[in-house]
Homo-oligomer: A and B are copies of this chain.
Amino acid sequence: MINIAVLGYGTIGSGVVEVLNTNRESITKRAGNELNVKYVLDRREFPGDPIMEKLVQDINIILDDPEIKIVVEVMGGVEPAFTFVKSALLKGKSVITSNKELVAKHGAELLKIAKEGEINFLFEASVGGGIPIIRPLNQSLTADEIVEITGILNGTTNYVLSKMSEEGLDFETALKNAQEMGYAERDPSADVEGHDSCRKIAILSSLAYGMQVDFEDIYTEGIENITDTDIKYAKAMDARIKLFATSVRGDDDQVYAMVAPMMIKANHPLYSVNDVFNGIFVEGNVIGDVMFYGSGAGKLPTASAVVADVVDAAKHMTKNIWTIWSSKKLVLTDINEVKHRFFIRVPNNLNGVLEEAKALLGEVEEVKAQGVEGEIGLLTCEIREESINEIKKRIPEILSVIRVRF
């Protein structure tokens, strides 16, 4: 029997306990050992829940108990999670986490401690909920040099954009709808402004390139400025707008990373990733394109990924599963240097504005959307980000700018 402690009995923590109970038999078989939740750490009380028997409020009870071999951290946030996780690893306990803030900030350091202790620090659930992506990156795509990772990594924003597209809702109404469905928090800013996706692409990029990608360095734009008019233009082009979290390695081995809304067409593997689903597209230099799709959040899918990590830790009680993520910082390409095609909405009823925009943007295709008056869409060739910013400054009448990948 292997004893486990679960830190945090919120949605995911209670999901972990539920999954361990529901699939006890097959999990025991796969882990080669029975997995027993000995403690659950939470400040709250849960009257009537059988978990009360295992509830503790002092982390030291867990840290000081030599019977605890695996600690599951599902509290979220950097502190006190970091202190608890680091202490557990230093005490020779393997740690599983679903905590993207913790992994993005301290992943390299915690992996190093785990390696030195011949134990494991695993975090499959920190990106893409239940979708297997961390383990495939670490263990399946090892013959490749990764050229690109692009994900729809946030279910809330994908739901909002899907509803705007399917039902013609404006941003506020779609967001309200997502909140009513329980898909968005009361304060949705971490999702909507792209910060959640940013942490996740920082983790994936660090693993893909084996070096520390600091999330603070990643250019991040949310979906809060996407309007129903933008969606109408996307439809006119048979395109969809998705919040992409992406990192791309250029021919010069320089990597750029960004989170931003992107227009894509049906030939892109992520085009069909709708509603709260997540999808992660990876291009390797020999494997070509692969894509992983599934529930990016939710109690049981996320708990499934956590428990799968627990099983892996149980199978590797005294052997570190090697993960290459050095603490050496990867200096990203200055975002100003990156080129994209852009879709730009410009008023066509203001004297000289459209003409000036066309003169500055070079060759463009005009796009019209049904029912939209007083403006026109322009689809540019590839232009540097810096140039677009200058053009936006010179023509403040520009209504919106969205990057395009087709």
Contacts and interface: CB of A to CB of B under 8 A. Distances in A.
A293 B294 contact: no
B324 A29 contact: yes
Most chain B C-beta atoms within 10 Å of own C-beta, residue among A19, A301, A304: A304
Contacts of A140: 124, 132, 135-136, 305, 308
Interface stretch (A142-150, A338-346, A356-364, A371-379): A142-150
Interface stretch (A20-28, A42-50, A194-202): A20-28
A229 to B, nearest CB: 26
A311 to B, nearest CB: 4
Contacts of A168: none
A143 to B, nearest CB: 4
B288 A291 contact: no
A22 to B, nearest CB: 7
A24 to B, nearest CB: 11
Nearest to A291: B293
Given A135-B136, A140-B132, A291 B290 contact: no
Nearest to A138: B30
A226 B136 CA distance: 36
B292 A291 contact: yes
Contacts of A324: 29-30
A145 B26 contact: yes
B143 A308 contact: yes
A117 interface: no
A23 B124 contact: no
Contact of A294 (B27, B130, B288): B288
Contacts of A310: 143
Copies in the complex: 2
A176 interface: no
Contacts of A130: 287-288, 290
Most chain B C-beta atoms within 10 Å of own C-beta, residue among A26, A285, A290, A306: A290
Contacts of A31: 142
B294 A294 contact: no
B285 A294 contact: no
Interface in A276-314: 284-295, 298, 300-301, 303-308, 310-312
A348 interface: no
A322 B316 CA distance: 11
Given A27-B142, A271-B272, A308-B139, A131 B290 contact: yes
Contacts of A347: none
B290 A132 contact: yes
Contact of A295 (B142, B288, B295): B288
A30 B90 CA distance: 25
A196 to B, nearest CB: 20
Contacts of A26: 144-145
A78 interface: no
A141 interface: yes
Given A29-B210, A139-B308, A288-B298, 12 more contacts: A23-B285, A29-B324, A132-B140, A136-B136, A139-B139, A142-B312, A143-B306, A287-B301, A288-B295, A288-B300, A290-B294, A290-B295
22 contacts: A23-B144, A26-B144, A26-B145, A27-B143, A135-B139, A135-B140, A139-B139, A140-B305, A141-B304, A142-B307, A142-B312, A143-B305, A144-B308, A266-B272, A271-B272, A286-B304, A286-B307, A287-B300, A288-B294, A288-B295, A289-B295, A319-B319
Shortest 9 CB-CB contacts between residues of A and residues of B: A143-B307, A132-B140, A290-B294, A287-B304, A291-B293, A130-B287, A142-B311, A30-B142, A286-B304
